[in-house]
Structure 1
Amino acid sequence: MALFSPNSIFKKKNPVNENYLSLTITPEKVLALIWAFRQSSIQVLGYAEAKFKDPENLVHQAAVAIDQASEEAKSDVSQVVFGLSRNWFDDGQVSSETSRLLESMSSDLELKAQAFVPLSVSIKNYLKSQEGAAPNVICVGLFENLCEAHLIKNNQVTASTQTRTNQTPEKVVELIKSLDAKEALPSRIVIFGEHDSHIMGKLQDSNLSDLFTQEPRIEYLSERELAESVAFAQGADILGHEVATQVSAQPVNKVPKEVKEPDEFGFVEGEDILKDKTQENVVGQREASLSALPQPKLPHVPPEQTKEKPAEVENKQPKTPGVSILDQILTLAWFEKITGIFKKQDSPRKIAVALIVLIAIFLMSSLILGQTISRAQVTIRVKSQPQEENFSAQVIVGSESNFDSKQVAGETISARTQGSQKGVPTGKKKLGNNSKGQVTVFNWTTSQTTFPAKTTIISPQGIKFNLDSGIQIASRSASQPGQEQVAVTAADFGPEANLASGTDFNFQQYDSLLYSARNDNAFSGGDEKEITVVSTGDMDKLDKSLSSELKEKSIENLKSSNPDKVIGDDAITIDVTKKQFDKKVDEEATLFNLDMNVTASVITYEQSKLNELLSAIANEDAPQELEAKPQNIEVLSLNSKASGGKLNLVGKFRANFIPKLDENDLKSTIAGKGEKQVRDILMQNPQITDVSIDFSPGFLLAPKIPKTEEKVTIKIETTT
C-alpha cells in the first residue's frame, strides 16, 4: 500500500457506515480504539492496549492491540490517526525517526494514515467538547522515564516542556514551574499516562500557593479517555465541526456544536503528513498535526470602494489615431459609410453611383489583398512506381551519417528504474541447545592415561558427547579402576540427548574393557525448535519477480521519454545496478524485502535519418527521370541487434518513385498566373495526374499565384 503519498490526505466525505481507528502511542504503550459515527456522535466499538519495550517491538504490539480491538468491534479498519506523546517530537517537530517508524507501521499493518495529533492538542479539544467551553488547565503526562507538561489557556497550548528522568512529586512541581506563565497558572491539573497514586497524593498534599492563586484541583484522565480524545479530534476533522459531548455506546441525538475555526483540531487538509514534517510552534500559535495551510480569504475590498460615488462622465473624446487604407479595407470600416448612403432619401442616380463605387472598392480591395497577403498551396498528384528492396545498415554512436558506408548517426540513451518488493519466506531450519552433564571416566588399565578435550564418548543409543576439557586418569588399583569426573556436551542439539542417570558410555576409539564412563546425574538442557527462514529459492523467486517488473517499467520509461527516437525491443540491454536483500540465507524472518535498481539502455536513431539513407539506396537504381524522396519511403520489416557498441539493422523497405520535380523552378514558372493557367502548365507532364490550388483568404476574385516564392507551397502526393 502506498504510504503518506499525496493521495493519502484528509478528504471530507460521508462517514456513514465507516469505522475508524485512533492509535495513541505513548513512551511505553500503544492504545487502539475503533469507533464509528452514530448520528454525528462517536460510538466506541472496540478498545485494547499493549505495552512495548522499544520502537522495534512497537509494530508487533500495535498489531496485537488492533487485533484485540477489532475482535471486540467485530470489524476491520484501514483509516488511522496517530496520537503522539511529546517524546516522539524533536524541537517541536516530528523527528525523522518517528516519521520512518509511522511509515513502516502503516505499511506493515496495511493502514491508510490520515494524520497525527499531539496529545496536548487532543486533550484540549476533548475537554472543550466535554465541558462546552475552552479549558484553562495544566496537562501533565506521567510515564516511566518521561514527564511532559503543557499550559492550556484561551483555547491554545501556550507552553510545553518535558523531562526524561524518573518522576517524583518534586520534579513534577519543578516542571510545572518551568512553564513560565506571565499570569497566574490555572488552578486545575489534568494528569494522563500512568496512574501513580503516590505522585498524585504528594501533589495534593504539596503547598503550591506560590504557583497558584488557589489550591489546584487535580484530576486523572484514564488511558481509555486519552484514546477517546484522539478519536474526538479525528471525528471533528472528518465532520468539520465538534462531535457529541460524550462517547456513547448508543447513538446520541444531540446537535453538534459547530466549530467556527476550521483548523481548531489541528488537522489540515491537503498535506502529506509524514514527508512534510513541519509542525507549528506550540507557543502563541494554533497547534496542528501538519504544517498549517493558509485559511481561505474573502475578496479584498478597499474601504473607499464600499461607498457609492456618482458616476463621472468624461466629455472629451479621445483623439483617434490615423488608420491606413489597408486597415480600413481589412476591417470593413468603410462599409458603414457606403451603406449610410442608402439610408438617405436621395435620388436613384445617387444610389446607382453608390453601388458602382461599392463594387469598385470591392474589386480594388480584392486586387490589393491578392498582391499583399494572399498565399497559395499547390497540390500536385503524381503517379508513383513502388519498388521493394532489402537493406542492411549500421547505427554508429557519436558520428555523423555516412550514406556511402550505409551508416546512420545514433546515440545511446538509458532509463533507470528502482523499486522494492516483499516476499514470504518458506525455508525451514531447526535450532536448539545441546544437552550438558557430567560423567565419571574409568581407567581399567594398569597404566595412567590422558584424554584431551573434544574426545568423543557414545551412549548405548548412539548419541555422541564430547569432553569439555582434557583429563588425566590414574591406573587401576588392585580392586578399583582409576577414575576422574569431567563435564561433557552433546555433539548435536535436541532433547534426545537428555539421558537419564546411570547411563554407561564407551569411548569411540577404545575397547570398552579398557576405558568407560558413566553419569551419576541426568543430562539436561537439550532442546529443539523449527523456525521459518529465508531460503535460496525464496530469494531467487523474489529476484525474478522484481527484475521482470522493473525491466518492463524501464523499457516503458525509455520509450515514453524518447518519443522521437526509434527503439528496437531486441536491441535493449537491461543491467541490474543494485540488488540488495534485507535478510540473509537461513536468517529467520516472517517477511523479507528486496531493493533493486534496473537500467535499460539502447542505441537509437531518428527515423528521418534512416529514411534519408534508404532514399539514397533506392536512388542508386532509380528508373530514368524518377526519384525516391525520404517522405516516400516505407519500412516494411526491421530487425535490430546491438553488437560491439554498434546497432546492426536488417530489413526490407518500399520506395515510391515519383517524377523529378524542381520545386523552385515550378514556383518561378507559375508565379503570377491564374488557376487555369497553372493547371495547363503542370498537366503537360504525363506523370502528373491532377493539380489543385488552395488560396487564402478564400474570398478573392480571380486569384493568382503570388510572385513571392515564400508565399507559395508545393505539396506532392502519390497515387498508384
Structure 2
Amino acid sequence: MDLSKVFSPILSKVGQGTPKEDYFLAVKISSSQVLATSWKVAEGKVAIGQIHSARIEGNDFDSLLKAADKVVSQAGSTGSVEINKVIFAVPESWVSEGKIAPAHLPNLRRICQQLDLTPLGYVVLSEALDSFFKEAEGAPLTAILVELDGRSSALTIYRAGKSLGTAPLLQNSDSPEAIVAALENALKQFTDLEALPARIIIYDGKSQLDALSQKITAHPWTGRLPFLHFPRVEILPSDFVIKAVAASGAVQMGASLNISELAVSSPKIVPPRPEIRPEESQQATRESEAELREVSAQEAGFALDADFSEVTLPVKSPPSPANGSAEFTPLPPPVIEKRPDQTTDQTSKKERRHPLNLVGATSFLTTIPKTLFRSLPQPSPPSSLKPPPKLIPLLGVTLLVLILGFAGIFYFLPKATVTLTLALKNFDHEMELAVQTNGSSSSDQKVITGEFLEVAEIGTKKGIASGRKTVGEKAKGNVTIYSVAGVKSFVAGTTITSPDGLKFTLDRDVSVASGDAITPATVSVGVTASNIGATHNLSSGTKFTVASLSSSDYLAKNDSAFSGGSSREATIVTKADQDRLSATLSAELSAKAQEDLQAKLAPAQTLLPTAITSEVSKKKFSKDVDAEAETLSLDMTMNFKGVIFSTGEAIGLFKQEFSSDIPDGYTLTPEESSLTVHQVTVDKKGAIKLDLGLSSKLAPHLNLEDAQSRVTGKSIKQAKASLSSLPGVSHIDVTITPRIFQKFIDATVLPWKKDNIQIEVITE
C-alpha cells in the first residue's frame, strides 16, 4: 500500500501552521507472533519507541487478539497520550490481488474495533524491505527475499526493484534441511527466469538461523538452478522489518532516518564523538594563548559517565518522492543533548557526529590531540614544563583505541558489489554432415551416430458421405401362365414382359401341361420386378409374354395388381469418401507422432523431422463403399519411426570445424545454442545426409576469484580499469555500502577484506 496516501490528510495540515505532535503505531503480524512499536515526528525530529513482541499461542482469532492487545498496550501508551493510529505490516500470505485477503480482513477490523485503533493502512513486508534496501544501497533491490513464518513462509524475487513473483515455501518441518529443500523447490517454479539473483535475504526466522545459513551456503545452487554464481546469504534481525515499516511512515511525515540504526535489533550505543571545526580550533588557540589553564577530560571532549541514551535525531527538509511511494532517506548524524555547563552558542557550533560517520570521525581523530595539548599548561613556569602525569596514559590509550577502531571499521564494515556486464559474440555457421544409425561416428568424415525412436498412434476420425444413388423396393405379385401348346418347363428367373416393356422374373421353377385353344393348360407362379420403382406396380389383367415364346402358344396374366414397388434418392459412401478420410486421419496422426517423438527426446538430443517413416497396422471403416449412410468413421493405428542424434556431438563438430572463429578467452555456450535442420536426404540404402545450422553465443571465460583479487583494496577508478581489461566486459557498476562510504567516491577504495566483495555477472 502507498504510505503517501495514508499520510496525505496529515501532511496537508503542515502548511496550515505548526502541526500538533502526534504518535503512531506500527504493528507487524505473522503466524506465530505480533510485534509493535510506537513512533512520532515532531518539530522536525523522529523517534522510534521500544519493540514489543508477544507469541500467538493458538490458531484462533482470540489468540491473535490476545497477543495484539498485549503489544499494543505496551507500545501504545506514552504516559499521558494514548496512541490509536496504526499501520499494519502483514506477510505475503495475507494479500491477494493487491488487497487484504477476505480470510484476514475481518480479523484486522475486529482487532481495530476491540482495541479502539484507527487503521491508517497496511504495508506488505517484502515491499517495505524493497523500499529500505533501495535507499540503503542507492540502487533498486535485486535479491530473493525469504520470509520464514512457519506455515506461511514464502519467497519473493525482486529484480531492479520490481517484484517478479511470490512462491510459498512448503517445508515439512522447521529444520534447516527442510527449509533449504523447500527453498529450492520454490525457486524451480520460476522457469521463465534465465538467471536468479545471487543474493538471498532471510528474515523473521525464529531459530537455527546460523545453521540455516551454513546449509544454504553449502547447498549446490549453481548445479541445480540458474544462478550465474554462488548466492550470498544475508540474515536480518527479528526487529528489522517493523523498524523499516515505522521508517516508511516517518519519511512520509517529513523525517530523515539513520538507516544503520534500523539494521540491528539491539544497537550498541557508542558515545558520540565531537567534531572540532577549523574556526573553533583557531578560537581555541586564541583562547589558550590568552589564558592558559588546565582542563578536565570532560572539557577536552571525553564524555565520562554520560547517559548516551538521550539522543535527538536532526531532520532535514522532507523529500518529495517521485512516485509517491514510501522511500527512506539517510539520517544525519545524531547529536548529544547539550550539557548544563555549555552555553547556547557552544551547543549550536559543536555538533556531535555519529560514530559511523567516517568523515566526522577522521576530523575528530586529527583534532582531539591538538585540542588536548593546547589546553595543557604552557611552559611559562619551570614546574609546568611537562603535562600532568595522569593525563599522558589517557591520551595514549585514547589514540590507540581510535586508531584501532577506525582501522577495524575500514576493514570489516565496507562491502562492495561489482556488477560486470558481458557482451556475448554471435557464432552462426552451417555445415553438411551425415547421420548413421548402424555405424560409428567420425569427426574427420563429419559423421555422427543416430538411433531410432518409435511411437504408435491410435486415432478415430468421422467423415461425411458424398455419393448419390436411387434406391427402393421391387414390385411383387402372382401371374397365371396359359399354354395352348405342348408341355413346357420354366426355370426361376425366366423373364416375362408387360406390353410397356416392364420386365419381371419368375420366383421359382414351374411346368405347364399341354393344352388347346378350347381348354388351355394353366399354372400359377410368383414374380418380382427386375427394377425398383412404383412403375412396376401393374394393375390386374395385364398380359405378359413369356421369355421369347410366341404369345399365341404361351401367355402370362396377373389376376391381381402388383404392389410393393418404390424408389427414392439416397446418400451413399463412395471410394473417394474413404480415401479422403484416411488421408486426413493419417496427417493428424503424423503430426501427433512428431510431437510425441519430440516429447520423448532427452535434453541433449535432436530429431530429424523430415526423416520420420510411418506404417499402418490397423484400418477399419464403419461403412463399405455404396452403403447408404450420411456419415462414416475410420479407426486407424499407425507406427512411426524417427531418427535422432546427439546435440552435443553435433555442436562438437561445429567447434572443431570452426575453431579458428572462436577468439582466445571465449568459449561456446551450449545453453545458448540452437540447431536448425535445413534439408534432409535419405538414399536407397538408408544413409541420411543433412544441412545443419548452428546459432550460438561465445561467452568470455571469467575467473571470479581472480576478479575479486584484482579489485581488493583498489580505488573505484583503478578497479574499473583493471576489470575492463578482462575479455568481453562491456560495462562495470560498483556499489559500496554503507552509503556513507559513497559520499566521496574518488577517495573511496573497495574493501580490503576480499570476502566483502561480491562479483555479479550479467549479459547484454
TM-score normalized with structure 1 length: 0.41
TM-score normalized with structure 2 length: 0.39
